[in-house]
């Protein structure tokens, strides 16, 4: 007798079991080799679901997303199987492979943990992986030394001299991989972190100590994460900047996931634009609110791209948030970038850890409109400008950041590129007027909205330059720009989207902005010309007539599209249309009169 095939019972998706359904879906997607991307179904769901305030919002989100993907209506009690079929069919089309698939899987293995714990756990292991790889590579180099002795392999100076961290046996990545199945693997990782920090003084305060064991992670999950991270290697992926690609990927993903991008991550295209504008070739570069160190990383990439000596650029920074301070130390460490971020995490306004140093370059993305920055006991809350002592308003730190950076710049040739919220362009008229009169501002460039993960507002690039005189700079002949400011409006450059809603710049656009700026500076005045709705060169006198406003739209020419209209022709067209309408109206009126007359109720 043939066995009757049992039809599996379809589980209904309801508001009560929604969370379990999402987790099951994640697990099944992994087993099917499908990696979920941040622009897909689950990330859109999470944006609402992680508020924990109303599960019905999440359920609506999943239905809305499926409708968008498939154009079909999902009923309140649609079966799990039917929904999965729709989802997986779409995800197969968007499947990511290779390195990015591995990275996304790493980011999702601990998805149910507290978001910041997830980030710390992943980035901590990524750190151990890359410092371990660099250690092994240095070991091989030591073995090739003419006077090689076995004992050299365990001598820290042979590693530290090449900017490679020394690792004892139990701190090395291969030891962690080999013990990943042990029940005490979390404790092993914690001990490795402590040993690395103890052995390498420059990492003091950079690593999360005693972090993994208290998380109480399942050994299987931690092993899965270690196994995935272990797949990331030069042997598997021949990427010129594998470390950078991996770390930037995780920082960007977690900044979207946590909604805290402003704290530790500035989108790469914006940082690239800043470095192209200030050209930090050699000297001291400083960021007073350095986040995860992305500005410094891009500055080194700028040097690589232009084939310059990276040893000639010296990094100085400061960061108030202790977690972000650690991120920066790790970020720079795994890339081998020497740095001085001070010996602790503390606000620049409370204590300037580089008080006696002047900087050749400053590059920064200060917190927008920071409140309650001022402290009566703070060492760095009053600033000089043109010989005058100025205290910015306590309610907003925007001008405190500006004045701090001007005070830190080399007085002869210092240049700064930084970001501020657009409100700063018209705030604090007295300080603005002083900035213009002292001729500190070289360029103001307003960016499109939605370039940041944490806010959709439009922000502005400020270029401050202590030397606007004619000179030769980086092989270019510059004219005297004393008393002039370049205004650029890039708000319409919003065509390039990623993750469906964020705006980005292409390499070509970045170079186009750089060209506008460099051509404006050039001794050959014919290279630059004002372009309506894009850029305008303005004098101090013109700015004074606008109450010293720095809003680009007050100066850049606006093209009135209505001026191109032939009014006689247009009015004739409208006149003819009105005539036709009036004819139709008369016809309708006559029909009504006749209808009423036909039933014995004539209308006079």
Q: Where along the chain do its domains lie?
A: 18-95, 109-254, 262-554, 565-604
Alpha-carbon span 190 to 196, nearest angstrom? 10
Q: Which residues pair with 339 in a beta bridge?
A: 315
CB 273 within 8 A of CB 461: yes
- Flag the least confident range among 64-68, 340-344, 517-521: 64-68
**Which of the two residues, 345 and 377, has the higher pLDDT score?**
345
Residue 277: predicted pLDDT? 96
pLDDT tens, residue by residue, 331-371:
888 788 889 999 889 999 999 999 989 999 999 999 888 88
Q: 380: which 2 tokens? A: 């760095």
**Which of the two residues, 572 and 67, has the higher pLDDT score?**
572
Q: Which residues pair with 443 in a beta bridge?
A: 463, 486
Dihedral (C-alpha) 215, 219, 224, 225: value to the nearest 10 degrees? 20
Residue 5 has pLDDT above 70, yes or no: no
Taken in order 123, 205, 282, 161, the sign of the CA dihedral is: negative
Residue 545: predicted pLDDT? 94
**Which of the two residues, 147 and 495, has the higher pLDDT score?**
147
Residue 235 has pLDDT above 90, yes or no: no
CB 229 within 8 A of CB 129: yes
Q: What is the pTM (predicted TM-score) of this model?
A: 0.70
CA distances from 450 to 409, 494, 499, 504, 514 (A): 30, 9, 11, 9, 21
Alpha-carbon span 476 to 522, nearest angstrom? 7
CATH number of 109-254: 1.20.1260.30
Taking Cα atoms as reference points, which of 210, 206, 213, 233 lies closest to residue 129? Answer: 233
Report residue 123 CA to chain centroid gap: 17
Residue 137 has pLDDT above 80, yes or no: yes
pLDDT tens, residue by residue, 278-318:
999 999 999 999 988 889 999 999 998 899 998 899 999 99
Give residue for tokens 């919220």: 421
Taking Cα atoms as reference points, which of 181, 195, 192 lies closest to residue 226? Answer: 181
Q: 496: which 2 tokens? A: 């390039």
Most confident of 44-58, 64-78, 276-290: 276-290
Taking Cα atoms as reference points, which of 254, 118, 129, 243 lies closest to residue 193? Answer: 129
Which class for 235: exposed (0-12), middle (13-18), buried (19 or more C-beta within 10 A)? Answer: exposed
Residue 550 has pLDDT above 90, yes or no: yes
Residue 288: predicted pLDDT? 95
Residue 243 has pLDDT above 70, yes or no: no
Q: DSSP strand E in 57-130: where?
A: none
Alpha-carbon span 321 to 337, nearest angstrom? 21
Alpha-carbon span 144 to 227, nearest angstrom? 30
Q: 537: which 2 tokens? A: 């060169």
3-state secondary structure of 473: strand
CB 556 within 8 A of CB 489: yes
Alpha-carbon span 242 to 179, nearest angstrom? 25
Taking Cα atoms as reference points, which of 220, 228, 231 lies closest to residue 180? Answer: 220
Q: Pairing between strand 361-364 and 415-421?
A: parallel
The backbone torsions φ and ψ at residue 511, rounded to the nearest 5 degrees and listed phi first, read -70, -30
Task: Return the number of other C-beta atoms located less than 10 Å from residue 429's C-beta.
Answer: 11
Taking Cα atoms as reference points, which of 168, 173, 95 lies closest to residue 134? Answer: 173
Q: 254: which 2 tokens? A: 């977690």
Alpha-carbon span 480 to 469, nearest angstrom? 4
CATH number of 262-554: 3.40.50.150
Q: 237: which 2 tokens? A: 């992926």
The backbone torsions φ and ψ at residue 313, rounded to the nearest 5 degrees and listed phi first, read -110, 130
Residue 560: predicted pLDDT? 62
Q: 421: which 2 tokens? A: 């919220």
**Which of the two residues, 70 and 328, has the higher pLDDT score?**
328
The backbone torsions φ and ψ at residue 516, rounded to the nearest 5 degrees and listed phi first, read -60, -45
Alpha-carbon span 60 to 74, nearest angstrom? 10
Question: What's the start-to-end Cα distance of the chain, in Å?
Answer: 91
């Amino acid at each position: 007798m043939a066995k009757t095939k049992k039809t599996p019972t379809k589980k209904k998706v309801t508001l009560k079991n929604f969370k379990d359904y999402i987790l099951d879906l994640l697990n099944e997607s992994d087993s099917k080799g499908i990696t979920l991307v941040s622009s897909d179904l689950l990330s859109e769901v999470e944006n609402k679901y992680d508020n924990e305030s109303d599960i019905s919002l999440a359920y609506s989100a999943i239905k809305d997303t499926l409708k968008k993907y498939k154009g079909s209506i999902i009923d309140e009690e649609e079966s799990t199987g039917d929904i999965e079929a729709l989802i997986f069919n779409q995800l197969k089309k968007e499947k990511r492979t290779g390195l990015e698939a591995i990275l996304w899987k790493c980011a999702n293995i601990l998805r149910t943990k507290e978001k910041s714990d997830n980030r710390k756990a992943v980035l901590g292991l990524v750190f151990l992986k890359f410092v371990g790889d660099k250690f092994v590579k240095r070991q091989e180099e030591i073995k090739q030394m003419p006077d090689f002795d076995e004992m050299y392999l365990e001598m820290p100076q042979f590693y530290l001299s090449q900017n490679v961290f020394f690792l004892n046996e139990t701190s090395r990545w291969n030891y962690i991989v080999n013990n990943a199945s042990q029940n005490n693997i979390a404790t092993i990782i914690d001990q490795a972190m402590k040993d690395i920090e103890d052995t390498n003084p420059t990492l003091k305060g950079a690593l999360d100590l005693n972090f993994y064991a208290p998380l109480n992670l399942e050994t299987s999950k931690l092993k899965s994460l270690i196994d995935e991270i272990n797949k990331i290697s030069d042997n598997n992926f021949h990427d010129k900047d594998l470390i950078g690609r991996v770390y930037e990927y995780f920082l960007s993903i977690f900044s979207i996931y946590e909604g805290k991008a402003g704290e530790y991550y500035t989108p790469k295209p914006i940082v690239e634009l800043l470095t192209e504008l200030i050209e930090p070739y050699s000297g001291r570069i400083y960021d007073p609110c350095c986040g995860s160190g992305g500005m410094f990383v891009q500055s080194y990439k700028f040097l690589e791209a232009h084939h310059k000596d990276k040893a000639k650029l010296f990094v100085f920074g400061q960061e108030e948030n202790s977690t972000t301070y650690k991120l920066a130390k790790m970020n720079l460490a795994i890339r081998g970038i020497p740095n001085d971020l001070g010996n602790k995490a503390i606000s620049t306004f409370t204590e300037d850890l580089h008080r006696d140093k002047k900087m050749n370059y400053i590059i920064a993305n200060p917190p927008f409109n920071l409140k309650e920055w001022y402290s009566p006991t703070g060492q760095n809350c009053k600033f000089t400008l043109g010989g005058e002592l100025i205290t910015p308003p306590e309610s907003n730190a925007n001008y405190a950041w500006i004045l701090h950076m001007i005070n830190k710049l080399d007085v002869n040739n210092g240049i700064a590129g930084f970001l501020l919220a657009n409100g700063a362009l018209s705030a604090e008229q007295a300080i603005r007027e002083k900035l213009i009169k002292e001729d500190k501002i070289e360029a103001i460039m307003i960016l499109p909205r939605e370039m940041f993960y944490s806010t959709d507002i439009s922000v502005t690039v400020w270029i401050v330059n202590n030397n606007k005189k004619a000179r030769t700079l980086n092989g270019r002949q510059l004219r005297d720009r004393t008393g002039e400011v370049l205004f650029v409006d890039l708000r319409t450059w919003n065509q390039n989207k990623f993750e469906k809603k964020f705006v980005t710049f292409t390499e070509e656009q970045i170079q186009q902005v750089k060209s506008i700026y460099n051509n404006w500076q050039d001794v050959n005045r014919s290279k630059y010309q004002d372009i309506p709705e894009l850029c305008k060169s303005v004098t101090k006198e013109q700015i004074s007539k606008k109450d010293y406003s720095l809003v680009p739209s007050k100066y850049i020419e606006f093209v009135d599209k209505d001026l191109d209209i032939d009014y006689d022709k247009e009015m004739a067209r409208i006149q003819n249309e009105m005539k036709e309408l009036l004819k139709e109206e008369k016809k309708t009126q006559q029909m009504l009169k006749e209808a009423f007359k036909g039933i014995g109720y004539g209308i006079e």
